[in-house]
Chains A and B, each alone.
Chain A
Amino acid sequence: MVTSSSQTMQRLDSQFPIKAEVRSLDFYYGQSQVLNDINLAIPDRQITALMGPSGCGKTTLLRCFNRMHDLYPNNRYRGEILLDQRHNILSPTIDPIEVRMRIGMVFQKPNPFPKSVYENVAYGLRVQGRTQRSDLDEKVEAALKSAALWHEVKDRLKEPAFNLSGGQQQRLCIARALVTNPDLVLFDEPTSALDPMSTAHIEELMRQLKAQVTILIVTHSLQQAARFSDYAAFMYLGKLVEFQKTTKLFAEPQDPLTQSYLSGSVG
């Protein structure tokens, strides 16, 4: 089914510029292969959803994009992810820290630092050695505005981040990921720990964000993928089964596996 996805990839090429392109990516945890020859082109400034049953490798694929796997021993991967058609961010000659400065990430559970609201957002700039107060203030405010959180926290910037509600904490984490002006932001099931109201809020936020940044999101909720993603990839047992415009994938899935997953008989 890999061939069908690369055909799709070419079709996508003509519609949107490609932000990142995965080429024959294999991934191993120790001896077991988790990703098998993944080919996928992420369109620029669109929302692309990765879906599939637990253990299909969608989170593993997502974490390849910011080299999170480099933090742990026994992870091996092979293949390329081309950013802007030029830089292979999986190349050993590229520093994973540089990759992470350009590709942000939001995690499954809100994980703010036990610091103030302000310091949480500013941290991405602080690690780069930026200390000028006016510069930080301006960027923190812009990131909080992009994350639709500014009006709720502008008078509580010095308060601990833990005082915010769960949904606010997650939007704070989004602001933290946006502050460095990344090319791409990765979302790993960002609403799975949130209530329906906060979830709706975050989904709305992502729709607005795609004007400025490319979004790649892992979700195990089909409804969520259908609601707001522009493109959707269905993965199963470490393989990319089908990649399509979301509307098309849900309306007329090509692969029998996708059909049975969408109808609820697999996964």
Chain B
Amino acid sequence: MLAAKFSDLITPQLGHQLHQRKLLNLGFMVMGLVAIMVALFTLAALIIHMAMSGWPRLSTWEFFTAFASRRPERAGILAAWVGSLLVISVTAIVAVPIGVAAGIYLEEYARKNWLSELIEINVTNLAGVPSIIYGLLALGVFVYEFKFGRSVLTAGCTLALLILPIVIVTTRESLRSIPQMIREAAYAVGATQWQVIWHHVLPYSIGGILTGTIIGLSRAIGETSSLITIGALTFIAFLPESPFQGKPPFVSWEWLNSPFTVMPIQMFNWVSRPNPEFQVNAAAAGTVLMTMTLLMNGFAIYLRYRLRQGIKW
């Protein structure tokens, strides 16, 4: 027998219960929305407040071209942003080849046994080690043992150690996402393991690897405590020697040995001054640092989008 109305098909109890189930669903959705709003709003408020406080200094070009100074209205971030750029370059040059190579080895070559399991767990653990510990390690190894000094080189290597676990883990995840059938297709025509990796696995996963690496670098650029530990200067009024020279051999490596400061240390320095005008400088430096980080993350997203075009499994 056909029911007269569709809703007649269910009993009142079932209908009531359905109403309650849907209410619960709605309730969770609202809760989730509130949670994400709280997170986003806090971040937005922080950035806007900082940008507005720092605006008087940000709007002057001298802020970017002047060295630190005792007079707040003349102090700038030249040494800091150049230092950050140089340190981050060293970090990338050291961390990317080592991290990617380690990731490839662990994912593609290493036998799966208790030892590789142990290494895997420890690499993940390393990502959680407080950065000041890395600073102490670097002070002992790079500064005192290797005699690198309190230099750009030491700082770059320290931050490289710090982000190495991130690079290794993202490399492995990206490699793992390449379907086995693509590897088998390459093996089936007589490729060696290295050819499979070099011609296929690595090119197809490079988007993910680069994304992870840039996210790691953007963490490194805001890193403070480990660099203070190795003895970064907080007040510096000169630039490292330029890597590019006007006369042969045109490149110089002197900058690697140069003392340095970086953006977050400069900011830290200004925040700790009692003079309120330095707080404006700190806010301005913070805004620049945030912008650098956001730009790097934006670039990572763009890269991932570009490199994944035309690859679908």
Chain A residues near B (Cβ < 8 Å): 66, 68, 71, 73, 97-98, 100-101, 104-105, 107, 109, 111-114, 123-124, 126-128, 160, 162, 173, 176-177, 179-180
Contact = CB atoms under 8 A, between A and B. Distances in A.
A107 B184 contact: yes
Interface residues of B, number: 22
A68 B195 contact: no
User: Which of A66, A98, A123 has the largest count of B CB atoms less than 10 A from its CB?
Assistant: A123
A111 B185 CA distance: 7
Interface string B183-200: 111111111100100011
A68 B186 CA distance: 11
A127 B195 contact: yes
Contacts of A101: 189-190
A123 B190 CA distance: 9
Contact of A127 (B111, B183, B184, B192): B192
A127 B189 contact: yes
A113 B187 CA distance: 12
User: Which of A101, A107, A111, A177 has the largest count of B CB atoms less than 10 A from its CB?
Assistant: A111
Interface string B201-216: 0001000000000000
11 contacts: A68-B188, A71-B187, A73-B111, A73-B112, A100-B188, A113-B182, A113-B200, A127-B186, A127-B189, A176-B189, A177-B188
B181 A97 contact: no
Nearest to A102: B190
A173 B182 CA distance: 11
B279 to A, nearest CB: 52
A97 to B, nearest CB: 5
Interface of B is mostly: helix
A72 to B, nearest CB: 10
Contacts of B190: 97-98, 100-101, 124, 127-128, 180
A124 B191 CA distance: 8
Nearest 10 A/B pairs, CB to CB: A124-B189, A101-B190, A105-B188, A100-B190, A114-B311, A111-B181, A127-B191, A111-B185, A97-B190, A127-B195
B71 interface: no
Contact of B189 (A100, A112, A114): A100
Interface of B: 111-112, 179, 181-192, 195, 199-200, 204, 310-312
Given A97-B192, A107-B181, A160 B187 contact: no
Contacts of B181: 107, 109, 111
B188 A160 contact: no
Given A71-B187, A100-B188, A113-B200, 6 more contacts: A73-B111, A100-B189, A107-B188, A123-B191, A127-B195, A176-B189
A98 B185 CA distance: 15
A173 to B, nearest CB: 7
Nearest to B112: A73
Contact of B310 (A68, A126, A160, A180): A160
Given A73-B111, A127-B190, A162-B310, A114 B185 contact: no
A204 B199 CA distance: 33
A146 B266 CA distance: 68
A114 B187 contact: no
A123 B189 contact: yes
Contact of A113 (B111, B186, B192, B312): B186
Contacts of B191: 97, 123, 127
A157 to B, nearest CB: 16
A101 B192 CA distance: 11
Given A73-B111, A109-B181, A123 B188 contact: no
